[in-house]
Amino acid sequence: MIPWLDLHTPFPDVSRALTGEAPGLLAAGADLSPRRLLDAYRHGIFPWFSEGQPILWWSTDPRMVLMTDNFKLSDSLHKAIRKVERSAATDGRWQLRFDGDFEGVMRACAAPRKDGPGTWISDEIIDGYTGLHKLGYAHSSELWCDGELVGGAYGVSIGRMFYGESMFARVTDGSKIALAQLVRFLKERGVKMIDCQQETRHLASLGAAPISRTRFLAHLRGAIEEPQITDWRTAATQ
């Protein structure tokens, strides 16, 4: 059995997460207030649940992470990024931004996909993370074309730790270009690890790999104590 959290119940130690059925499941309940979300991420815990379920909290082992030094760019993606960057530098039809429309990125990530229904990102989730965004702890990396948001990624930033949440694309490689911008930005500011939470082939193709929860938490504890990154909005226009 996993514990049920009320609004004031602290998280259990992550060592209590399930290992058999639903591996990584730690607790249920509580809320998605900025205070609760920040507490979760600082302890290596994240929410993930489907519509109709209570809020479920997870701490997976192993943990999928992308080391910023290991990000992989294919030749074709590298060419696409250079094309976008040249356009952005001359105020062309392609633009790269941070935090231009954070909620718009979240809603695009939540929209139905070509190969299935919408994601787990509900209005409740959107409200919680836009609350974090207003406090400066959640950010979006965005690709725009002719004034329209066509690709993006978003996540949570604490100190020099970034927790990736979701990506979307409305044009070919849109999400990858937004991710590439994000990785470069974070790497330049001393962020070594991006949390990807769970293992997928897509993430592995970009250089992500699983590590033990122990190793993940050891890195996390130091990274979140570093100074907060504050120049998101100005970075893409430099």
The predicted model gives 25-31 an average pLDDT of 98
For the cut 50, the answer to whether the pLDDT of residue 238 exceeds it is no
Cβ–Cβ < 8 Å for 217, 90: no
Q: Supply the DSSP symbol for 228.
A: P
Whether the pTM exceeds 0.85: the reply is yes
The pLDDT tens digits of the residues spanning 40-54 come to 999 999 999 988 899
Q: What are phi and psi of 167, to 5 degrees?
A: -140, 160
- pLDDT of amino acid 30: 98
Angle, in degrees to the nearest 10, between helices 34-42 and 123-134: 80
Residue that wins the pLDDT comparison between 7 and 235: 7
**Would you say the C-alpha torsion 233, 108, 110, 114 has a positive or negative sign?**
negative
CA separation for the pair 12, 28 (Å, rounded): 11
The predicted model gives 76-94 an average pLDDT of 93
Q: Supply the DSSP symbol for 70.
A: G
